[in-house]
């Protein structure tokens, strides 16, 4: 049977899918995809898979409904896809990941300027694979460049294009609003199906996006995570979907990885079994039901939206803080984390550290203050004679042949000892010329055999 392409692939193989769950690392595993499919999702991507590891490690290869591969090593893309093609409907090249790990690995959105490379890669995959090749991209600031980018991918062999309406710089607290104008322009310029991604919080957003942009389908990531029933247009109780999800996990195990009820959040971070997670979920259900019973009759949240913590609801990412890059000032990721760290909510990594050391504190105001090195800004040694950190102190002490007892560096002392030792040694006499066997001459036996 010939390989289906473009709209024929979308309508026949994907059955005209309109509601799509995005590839999410450590999130869209099989159990979550099955839960999403039960509640209105018509197409689910696997998490992004690393092509090199996928080829090398058999344990890394898992069952896939729709394969999403990161183009780390270009020749390995096809090798990985050949191993996966019998288990999925298509192979997707994720050219939209904006994270730092993608920058270090030279893949994701950090390939979007290398058009020749992408063209060769997609063309090779399109020729070799028995399933279609699709792509997921982010936009450029300029609409016309984004359109030319999409047309290049289509010409290379891409059969379906997902367009995330944000640039690679729009991430985290700087995400902002996705541009549907970019997506609309791409849809008009290509002859293959297009999925839109960005600004999807509820089913009304899905319908409005399709109407405004003309795309064939809409992909959701964060919206789906906060409400797996988004595509059904429902906002069920959180424990309802939590219990359903845990039932699926019992059949399809996955790695074990609350803004309200902080104690339960800490307990959840400590559990190591599925039964422990189920117990926390049951306790959360009881507490939420108590909160509901105490809710005042007829009280409504501002804006008319159901922002009660016990139901699945849209997630609204906070905008950039004053002084951030979007507002004209450079802010480091650490600075943002420290500001957000003033709340009682701890990240997963900090919860693990807290579990290992219950007395550890993450309050920035309680952190010890260190005097800084005069050269590099790192903490300086308290007893350093140069007021430097050890690295800078070592360079200066070596250059100046000086000592720093505070850092245990004794370049001057060692030099003086060396000179004193050399001065105390007697001068060697010139050897006398004598024959063998005479005093001062060569020994008769100059070597021996070793048994």
Q: Which residues are catalytic?
A: 97
Check if the beta carbon of residue 28 is closer than 8 Å to that of residue 44.
yes
* E strands, 309-405, in order: 403-404
Residue by residue, DSSP assigns 235-262 as: --BHHHHHHHHHHHHHHS-------S-H
Angle, alpha carbons 34-31-59 (nearest 5°):
125
**Cα–Cα distance measured from residue 189 to residue 186, given in angstroms and rounded to the nearest whole number:** 5
Phi and psi based region of residue 108 (left: phi greater than 0; alpha: psi -120 to 50; beta: remaining): left
- Collapsing DSSP to helix, strand or coil, 37 comes out as helix
| Buried b or exposed e, range 391-400, using 16+ CB within 10 angstroms | ebbbebbeee
CA-to-CA distance for 239 and 218, rounded, in angstroms? Answer: 27
Give kind and range of the element (H or E) at residue 70: strand 67-70
CA angle, 171 then 173 then 178, to 5°: 50
Residue with tokens 């392409």: 5
């Amino acid at each position: 049977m010939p390989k289906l392409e473009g709209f024929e692939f979308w309508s026949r193989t994907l059955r005209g899918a309109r509601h799509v769950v995005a590839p999410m690392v450590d999130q869209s595993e099989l159990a979550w995809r099955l839960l999403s499919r039960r509640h209105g999702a018509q197409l689910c991507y696997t998490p992004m898979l690393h092509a090199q590891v996928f080829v090398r490690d058999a344990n890394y290869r898992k069952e896939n409904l729709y394969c999403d591969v990161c183009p780390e090593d270009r020749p390995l893309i096809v090798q990985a896809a050949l191993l996966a093609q019998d288990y999925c409907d298509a192979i997707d090249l994720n050219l939209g990941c904006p994270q730092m790990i993608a920058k270090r690995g030279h893949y994701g959105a950090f390939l979007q300027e290398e058009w020749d490379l992408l063209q060769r890669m997609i063309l090779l995959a399109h020729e070799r694979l028995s399933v279609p090749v699709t792509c997921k991209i982010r936009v450029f600031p300029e609409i016309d460049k984004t359109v030319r980018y999409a047309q290049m991918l289509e010409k290379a062999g891409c059969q379906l294009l997902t367009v995330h309406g944000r640039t690679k710089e729009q991430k985290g607290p700087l995400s902002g609003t996705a541009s549907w104008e970019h997506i609309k322009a791409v849809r008009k310029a290509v002859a293959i199906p297009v999925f839109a991604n960005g600004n999807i919080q509820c089913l009304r957003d899905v319908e409005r996006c399709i109407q405004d942009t003309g795309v064939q389908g809409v992909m959701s990531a964060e919206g789906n995570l906060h409400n797996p029933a988004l595509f059904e247009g429902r906002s069920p109780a959180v424990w309802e979907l939590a219990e359903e999800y845990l039932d699926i996990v019992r059949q399809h195990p996955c790695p074990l990885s609350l803004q309200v009820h902080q104690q339960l959040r800490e307990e959840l971070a400590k559990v190591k079994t599925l039964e422990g997670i189920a117990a926390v979920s049951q306790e959360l259900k009881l507490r939420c039901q108590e909160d509901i019973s105490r809710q005042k009759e007829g009280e409504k949240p501002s804006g008319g939206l159901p922002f009660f913590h016990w139901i699945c609801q849209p997630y609204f990412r906070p905008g950039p803080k004053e002084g951030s890059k979007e507002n004209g000032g450079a802010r480091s990721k650490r600075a943002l984390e420290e500001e957000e760290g003033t709340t009682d909510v701890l990240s997963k990594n900090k919860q693990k550290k807290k579990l290992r050391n219950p007395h550890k504190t993450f309050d920035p105001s309680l952190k010890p203050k260190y005097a800084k090195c005069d050269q590099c800004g790192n903490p300086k040694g308290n007893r350093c004679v140069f007021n430097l950190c050890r690295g800078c102190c070592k360079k200066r002490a070596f250059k100046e042949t000086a000592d720093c007892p505070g850092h245990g560096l004794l370049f001057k002392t060692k030099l003086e000892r060396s000179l004193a030792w050399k001065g105390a040694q007697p001068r060697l006499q010139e050897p006398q010329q004598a024959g063998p066997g005479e005093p001062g001459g060569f020994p008769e036996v100059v070597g021996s055999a070793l048994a």
